[in-house]
Structure formats: C-alpha cells, structure tokens
Amino acid sequence: MTEPQKRYGWVIVAIAILSLVVSNGLAIGGLPPFYKPIREDFVDIGAIDASRAESFIGNSANITFLLSGVFSLIGGWFISRTGLKAVMLIGCVLLGGGLVIHSQASSAEVVYAARALMGASLGFIGVAPCVVLVSRWFDKGRGTALGIVLTGTSLGGALIPLVAAPLITRYGWRFAMIALTSIIWLILVPAIAFFIKEPVENTATVTDADAANGMTLAEAIREPLFWAFGVCAALVFYPIFVTSQQFILYLQTPKIGVSAETAAFAQSALFAISIGGKFLAGTLSDKFRAIRVMVGCSLLMFAASLVLLGLTAENSLYFLLPFAIGYGGTFVLLQRLAADFFGRREIGKILGLITLIEVTGAAIGGRITGYLADRNGGDYTFAFYGVTIAAGLAFVATLAIYALRKDRSPSSA
C-alpha cells in the first residue's frame, strides 16, 4: 500500500467512527431520553395500556438489538457482492426511514416495525461493516485503528442524548426524532458517498491474496477455533449487556442504596471508561500478541466481576472501573482477532455470524437477569451472580481460543 493510501486509511477511520456514533447513537444508545415521553404519549392516546407500558419499551429495545445481529449476517453477505459503500448507504436509508416511521407512529405495531428497520440498519452500517472496512485498509496498526473506531459505539450513547434531551423538552419527542435524522441525511450520507472507497488492492470482489489466505464462512464454521470465538462472544456479551442495561437498577435497590443521580453517573462512567479500554487494548495488540492482550482483558473483566459476590455502595467502583476496561478491550479484540485468524476473504459474513451469536448471548443474559430479579422481589443480588459466572466462563473460552489459535500472521490467516 502506498504512503498516500496509508494516510487515506485514517480518513476511513474517521468516517467509520462517524458511522458508529450516528448508527449506534440513534438506534440504541441515544434513545433512552425518548422512552419516558413515548411511554406517556402512547398511554395518553390509548395506544397501549398503562400496565404494559414498561414491556412496550423493553420489547422495542429488544427488537432493535436482536435484529442487529440477524442483519449483521445478511449485511456480511451483501458486502461480498455489492461493496461496502452501497451496503452502508442502504444502512443509512434503513436507519433514517425507521426513525421517520417511529416519529409518526400511533400504535405499538408501527413502533415495533420502525425499531425492526433501525435494528436492520446496524447490520449494514454498524460494528461488523465498519470493522470490515477498516480491516481492509490496515494491516500494520490494525489493532490501534480498530480500537479508535470502536470507541464510536460508546461515543454515540454519550453524545446523542446531549442533543436529543433539549430538543425533546422544547419541541416534543416526535419533532426531536425527525430533527435527529438530519444527522444522517446531511452529514453521514455525504461522508459515505464521497469518502468511502476500497484500497487499490481490494477493488476486486475478492483479490487473489484474499482468496489464497482467507477462509470462506463455510470453511470457518468447520474450524473449532470459530466456535470457540462464538462461545466466547456470547459469554462476553452476557455480562456486557446486563451491566450496561441493568446495573443502574441494581445500584438503586434498597440493599445497595445508591441515589438515582449517583447511579446515572456510574452508568455514564461505565461507557466513558470502556472507551479507554477499547483504545488501550487496540494499541497494545499492535505491540504485543493480540491474543495475549485479549486473555489479559478477559481476566480483568472476570476478576472485577468477583466484587459482585459482595457488592456494596462503597466497593461498587472496584467493580465498575476494571470491568469497563476489561470489557472494552475484549470487545475490540474479538473483532480484530476474527480478521487475523480467518482472513479477509469473507470476513463480513464471518463477523456477521459472530455478531448474531453475540446478541443472542446478550439477550439470554438480559432475560435471565430480569427473571431472577423478579423472582427475588426486585433484588438483583442473585441475578448478578450470573454476570460473574458468565465472565468466568468467558475467560475460559478465551483460553480455549489461545490454545486453538494457529501460529500465523494476520496476512496469512
């Protein structure tokens, strides 16, 4: 790759960050400020019963999250046939269209359909396609580049609410949702259309080098290493999802006794610290063997989760800080090592299937945690033991990846 191409790779990194900030921010992380006004509005107009309002909000979020996994696999299939620019532009249309439909909805069914479109968009413009895009531009320094790019998933959840909340207060949730789509049409679509391109050696659908060195999805799923990846991904996303969605509720239970304001701060700290974990792990994976860095990150996540066995308000930060660094690093390295071990021939499809397995693990974790909390009268103590167990098993799965890895460089994966 020529020096101008290497420099252009950092333009690609910037567009990928923007894509993740907008897509994850508008489809997942930036939506909580909308939940209360949506719930109140739909109860007032009789679209949903007040006794089912919380389930309505929860079901909407689950639809988006689960379909993001399904369409990551479908998006991977399209990437190998139509190219990344076309796939990402389709993602923009799905995301923007879903938000427009949601803003005009007056029934739960229409909201669910809109959230399905928003979930589908993540398969075309979310983590998997952005990882494929950056991996095509970087061999040396790939870990650093991916670590930087994947901070966009956390930044979206931090930045979009800052824009959405005042718009909702001043103009209502429907206008605010329409207004936020302008970020897609006026910023993201032009950025993708004008700046996304393939490096010269990847202009063909599959280059000779990729065909020789990379695996097809069919070949990958016959490898024990792939299934070690899948199990690890599911086990990692169980505690990630549960902690990011329900830890704030655990802190506010009478047993822990943290105020709503402090719990919200802790939740924000989780995302903020994970940004550092993603960047740090990506950088370290370029200086040391990436699989060893991943083992260290997963061990840190498990060690932090042991605090949950005796969680109090006083020791909650001893869980939160190292856990956020560990999960941020493990998340980045799962993406990086998939490209390293399986090559780039059909990495879009391979990452798509891994993403589907990830969100399945997350959904199972969320359901188990909620069920156990309900069975214990809203007490999350026993439910969060599952986070410790899953984190421990994720560490074991990481060791399995280490044992099954093939000692070859990324270019010969």
Residue 281 · residue 151 · CB < 8 Å = no
Which of 97, 75, 96, 69 is CA-nearest to residue 87? 75
Domains in the chain, ordered, with CATH?
A: 3-205 (1.20.1250.20), 211-407 (1.20.1250.20)
Q: Considering the chain, what is the average pLDDT of its residues?
A: 85
pLDDT at 213: 65
pLDDT at 197: 86
Q: At what angle do helices 224-251 and 316-342 cross, to 10 degrees?
A: 160
**Better-predicted residue by pLDDT, 199 or 166:** 166
318-345 pLDDT per residue, tens: 998 899 999 889 988 988 888 888 887 8
Band of pLDDT at residue 406, cut at 50, 70 and 90: low
Distance (Å, whole) CA 312 – CA 372: 19
11-39 pLDDT per residue, tens: 999 999 999 999 988 998 778 788 788 88
Distance (Å, whole) CA 367 – CA 370: 5
260-300 pLDDT per residue, tens: 677 767 767 787 788 888 888 888 888 888 899 999 999 99
Distance (Å, whole) CA 346 – CA 354: 13
171-225 pLDDT per residue, tens: 999 999 999 999 999 999 999 999 998 776 544 444 444 444 678 889 989 999 9
Q: Please give the single-letter amino acid code of residue 244.
A: S
Band of pLDDT at residue 3, cut at 50, 70 and 90: low
pTM value is 0.76
CA Rg value for the chain = 21
What average pLDDT does range 37-45 have in this prediction? 89
Residues 6+ apart with CB under 8 A from 129: 75, 76, 79, 84, 87, 88, 91, 123, 348
CA dihedral 295, 296, 298, 302 (to 10 degrees): 130
Question: Is the pLDDT at 396 greater than 90, yes or no?
Answer: yes
The angle subtended at Cα 136 by Cα 184 and Cα 198, nearest 5°, is: 65
Distance (Å, whole) CA 386 – CA 374: 15
CA dihedral 145, 148, 154, 156 (to 10 degrees): -90
Distance (Å, whole) CA 355 – CA 359: 6
**Better-predicted residue by pLDDT, 106 or 410:** 106
Handedness of CA 335, 337, 343, 346 (dihedral sign): negative
Distance (Å, whole) CA 20 – CA 368: 28
Distance (Å, whole) CA 319 – CA 321: 6
**Which long-range contacts (C-beta less than 8 Å, at least 24 apart) are formed by 97-101?**
98/27, 99/26, 99/177, 99/178, 99/180, 99/181, 99/184, 100/178, 100/181
pLDDT at 282: 85
How buried is 377 (Cβ within 10 angstroms: 0-12 exposed, 13-18 middle, 19+ buried)? exposed
